[in-house]
Each structure stands twice: as structure tokens, then as C-alpha cells.
Amino acid sequence: MDSSSPSRRVVITGLGVVTSIGHDVDSFWASLLAGRGGIHRVTLFDPSELACQIGAEVRDWNAADHMDPKEARRNDRYTHFGFVAAKQAVKDAGLDMAKEDADRVGVVIGSGIGGMWTYESQLKVLAERGPRKVSPFTIPSLIGNMCSGLFAIEIGARGPNFGVVSACATGTHALGEAAHMIRRGDADVMVAGGSEAAITPFAYASFCSMKAMSTRNDAPEKACRPFDKGRDGFIMGEGAGVLVIESLEHAQARGAKIYCELAGYAATSDAFHITQPDPEGRGLSMAMTRAMKSAGLAPDAIDYINAHGTSTPYNDKFETLAIKKVFGEHARKLAVSSTKSMTGHLLGAAGGIESVICAKTIQTGRIAPTINLEDTDPDCDLDYVPNVAREAKVRTVLSNNLGFGGQNAAVVFRAV
């Protein structure tokens, strides 16, 4: 097959994650299947003056244990997470750069917000100690493409390399656009996903002022409750999800294990409101429909949807509406779950870790639940796999992510 053929198949061969419920894929997956959440009172700063005082922090973490200590000092927390997840994914894929054409290996790791810790800390230095004390590493550390750049240097990948910024759709957009690069022949292998570290005073103050976050501070483990009648806002999470994807021919030629095929992808816009999703679900409906069409699948072929499911009043209702609009009667037969109930909302990293979840679901035949679903909202009337993981034969999975600005992304995975 021509290396630039639009029908060139793309497969997933490596997975990596850093999250509040596991610093690697095995521990992360075990936590998900056990219904174990990672949301607690924030410890990275004093949240006592904020309406939301809880989050899904990556705890017991020292970046210098996982990367060069000098690079750890020079780079932001979001870069640490993405870099380590990418290292895991490359190792999992068995990718030996000494045997690869480095010109045909690329990296696209996005971040919705970028180096927020660097931004806040260096502004404080400027205010308290003056401009001469601002770190010369400030700009490289805070910009949203640095994780991609740093990891490409680490492995010597000279192919396509940049960051993606589309709020909470970032990780899925990064993965989908990386797949396009393989299909059109720009690369054979891409390291792609998302990373975020926005549990910071300024980010929390900003989101709290929007009244977007949960204020269930007295019961953090119960605060994130997608599709539940008592949901009152999202919970911030942090971490990264990164995958190695490559052409099927390339994976087969090097004898790589294959988790599944990245079979379809689409990106659309609501063109409606900067923060509120379209109440008719038109943009998301179109993204799901186009993603399935690009995979050559009819709606009734989908077995499971990993929902965006943010635990906000608008998102969960409108996403449910969009699913019913696209899938019709089949919507009642679908398993749908929101793993954000355990991980919190990782913003630009959400699509990365949720794509890892989709690959593991196909590999294992286990569907992670939506925890804290105790009193289902009447407007949310699908099978959300409540509270307990489920065994099922899953061959096809669709994952949704929506971002501020009305940006939608949907990706379809299929067993090979």
C-alpha cells in the first residue's frame, strides 16, 4: 500500500499515563476497575479561601525520579507528566529508535493550559524580587508545545512535532491529528496525547469565579458524579495520557503488539457559545457521526462510549441528548461511562487518558464504571455502567471530548 494512502490503517501499540489513581497504566487500570477515585482536598496550595477546595492531584510524585533532575528543575509540572507518560508509552510499544528512521517518528503532546505553575511562580518573582530575578527558563517552561519538543529531543524524533491547544478537546485532537499525519504519509510512528497540571491557585480562582467547579468540599470522594441528579460542577484533575500510534504495516513489520486500531476521528465546532455546549448537541452529534463514517462504521456497530461526562449540569444533559440523536434506538443498548468520576477532569489531558482507557477496554473486555451515580438525572437516561465495572465483549469504542470555545472531538477505536 502507498505510504500516503488515505486508507492507511493506524494502530495503537503503546500506552502511558500519570494520574491521581495510578502513575502507570497497570495501577491506573486496576484503580478504574475497582471504582477507586483519586479526588481529595487540595494539598499543592492552601485552598481555604476558594469555593472549590478539592481536586484529583498526582500525589507521592517526584519528577526527578523519572527524568533527568536538571530537566525536571527547568520544566513545568505539566511537562513532567507528559514526558513520563510518553516514556512509558514508547517502552510499552517496544519502540527502538536505533532501528527507526528518526525522520519518520513524530511527537504531538498537547496541553489545554500549559505551564501554569511556571506562569504563577515567575509572576510572583517579578512582583517580589524584580525583573532580573525572573528565570531564563520561564518561556520554554510555560509554553504549551514544550512537552512535545523535550520528548522529541529525548528520543531523537525528527518528524512532525508541535503542541495542540483546544481546551478540553486537546488530547483527542492531538491523537486524531497525529493519525492524519500517518495516513497521509508524513510519519510512520507518532507519540501523541495530552498533559495538564492546572491545580494552581490562579486556575482554581478563575474556574471558581465562573462557578464551574463542584463545592462538595465535605465529601470529595463523592463530588464528581456524572449524570447524577446531584452533580454540581467538575473536579480538576492533573496528569497525562500518551499513546504510540503507527501504521499497521509498520507495526506488523517490527512485530509490535497491537492494542487496537484508531479507526476514525472527527473535529467540529458548536459555533454557539464560548463555554456552554450547544443545547441541541449539534456539534457533538456531527463529530460522532463523522468519526464513525471515517471508520466505516454504522452507529449500531459501536459497543461502548467513553463519555466526556464532566459532572456539570449542562454537559451531561446535552451529551446524553447528542448520543440519543446519533444512535437512536441503539443508544439504549450502548454502555456509556464517565471515568472522570474517578480521575477528575484533566482538561487538555482528558482525551489522552480516556483513549488509553478505550484501548484497555478493547484489550481486556472490561468496562470501567461511572462511580457516584446514585440518583440518576431523568434527563440522563442511558446505561452509564453505574458504580461497578462490567465484563463485556467490546470490539468498537467511541470517545468524546468537548472544549471551551465550542470545540468537539470524537475518536473511534476498533479491535484488530
Active-site residues, by number, are 168, 308, 345
- In angstroms, rounded to a whole number, what is the distance separating the alpha carbons of residues 53 and 142? 24
Question: What would the 3-class secondary structure string for the chain be?
Answer: CCCCCCCCCEEEEEEEEEECCECCHHHHHHHHHCCCCCCEECCCCCCCCCCCCEEECCCCCCHHHCCCHHHHHHCCHHHHHHHHHHHHHHHHHCCCHHHCCHHHEEEEEECCCCCHHHHHHHHHHHHHHCHHHCCCCHHHHHCCCHHHHHHHHHHCCCCCEECCCECECHHHHHHHHHHHHHHCCCCCEEEEEEEECCCCHHHHHHHHHCCCECCCCCCHHHCCCCCECCCCCECEECEEEEEEEEEHHHHHHCCCCCCEEEEEEEEEECCCCCCCCCCCCHHHHHHHHHHHHHHCCCHHHCCEEECCCCCCHHHHHHHHHHHHHHHHHHHHCCEEECCHHHHCECHHHHHHHHHHHHHHHHHHCEECCECCCCCECCCCCCECCECCCEECCCCEEEEEEEECCCEEEEEEEECC
Characterize the bridge pairing of strands 105-110 and 189-196. Answer: parallel
Cβ proximity of 27 and 251 under 8 Å:
no
